[in-house]
Amino acid sequence: MNNDPFGVAIADYYHGNKKACIVVNSTITQNEKIKVSALYRTYRGMPEMERVALDDCSGKILDIGAGSGAHSIILQKRKLDVTAIDLSPQACEIMLQRGIKKVVNGDIFNFQDNGFDTMLLLMNGIGIAGTLDGLDKLLVHLKTLLNKGGKIFLESTDIMYMFVNEDGSMLVDLNGAYYGELEYVISYENHVSTFSWLYIDYSTLESHALALGFQCKQLLNDHDASYLACLELVPSDNINAKN
């Protein structure tokens, strides 16, 4: 399979290539490198946003875009009921080898299990939506999988700062396509994948989430405009009571 660079890199690292790096090109960046070791970090080595989300997980949990399973392993060790889902077959195979009990190889948009109390979209995981239209499609679908009162923890970044000149002028057309909709080319050795990815500012996320029946709260943010948010599926009777 030559279009699974993340999966191949994850497998190579697991089998001994501790220097493995993935090359990232996008609409706004060129030849950035991601050390695959970052996908294998332990709880202690994770940023605060990830630790806060993990510490608030409860009930039946779905780890979306689980990669090497770093988050699922932590939750499973805590005796929590976690299912890891990833599009990469090789990543899923590695998660099984690492001892994760519930692993699904598939596209979250086609995933049909339900009854989840917590969902994770960490490490800018909401980006799988691809576009603002894709965000609405994703949230509508996740509602069908999530219990009432269930929570979605997600990370994203407002990348507006990347378009600001030193004099304060903007390099982005605010009347055009949303500036956080990017195209990516990811490569590892001769394995290449292209896909759309979404970075969304918190205000825009909140407006889309509220329109679809979620409560939205920003839990943490840092200096480079990254943030952790929690979407909570409000029971319909609560919505009616407010109206």
Average pLDDT of 79-99? 98
Q: Is the separation of the CB atoms in 210 and 216 below 8 Å?
A: yes
What is the pTM assigned to this prediction? 0.93
Whether residue 237 has pLDDT greater than 70? no
Average pLDDT over residues 104-119: 97
The predicted structure's pLDDT at residue 163:
81
Sequence-ordered list of residues with C-beta below 8 angstroms from that of 77, at least 6 positions apart, any chain: none
What is the spatial distance between Cα 78 and Cα 134, in angstroms, rounded to a whole number? 33
E strand or H helix at 197, and its extent? strand 191-198
26 φ/ψ angles, rounded to the nearest 5 degrees: -145, -175
Which is nearest to 199 in space by CA: 173, 220, 227, 222? 227
Confidence of residue 235 (pLDDT cuts 50, 70, 90): confident
Q: Which residues contact 48 (CB under 8 A, 6 or more apart)?
A: 220
pLDDT: which is higher, 222 or 143: 143
Per-residue DSSP letter, 171: S
115 contacts 62 by C-beta, under 8 angstroms: no
Provide the pLDDT confidence category of residue 243 given band limits of 50, 70 and 90: very low
Backbone φ and ψ of 84, nearest 5° = -100, 130
User: What is d(CA 220, CA 228) in angstroms, rounded to the nearest whole number?
Assistant: 5
Would you tell me which CATH number, out of the four given (3.40.50.150, 1.25.40.10, 3.40.50.2020, 3.40.50.720), belongs to the domain 45-183+196-242?
Answer: 3.40.50.150
High-pLDDT (> 90) share of the chain, %: 85
> What is the pLDDT, as a whole number, of residue 171?
64
Distance CA 7, CA 90 (A): 5
Helix (H/G/I), strand (E/B), else coil: 172: coil
Could you give the percent of the chain with pLDDT greater than 70?
A: 91
Please say if the pLDDT value at position 1 is more than 70.
no
Secondary element (H or E) of residue 13: helix 5-14
**Mean pLDDT, rounded, of the chain:** 93
Show contacts of 162-168: CB within 8 Å, 24+ apart.
162/28
Q: What was the pLDDT predicted at 240?
A: 44
Determine the pLDDT at residue 242: 47
* CA pair distance 156, 114, nearest whole angstrom: 24
pLDDT in tens, 133-191: 999 999 999 999 999 999 999 999 999 988 877 666 666 666 678 999 999 999 999 99
**How many Å apart are CA 17 and CA 11, to the nearest integer?**
9
Q: pLDDT value at position 117?
A: 98
- Three-state secondary structure readout of 113-136: CCCEEEEEECCCHHHHHCCHHHHH
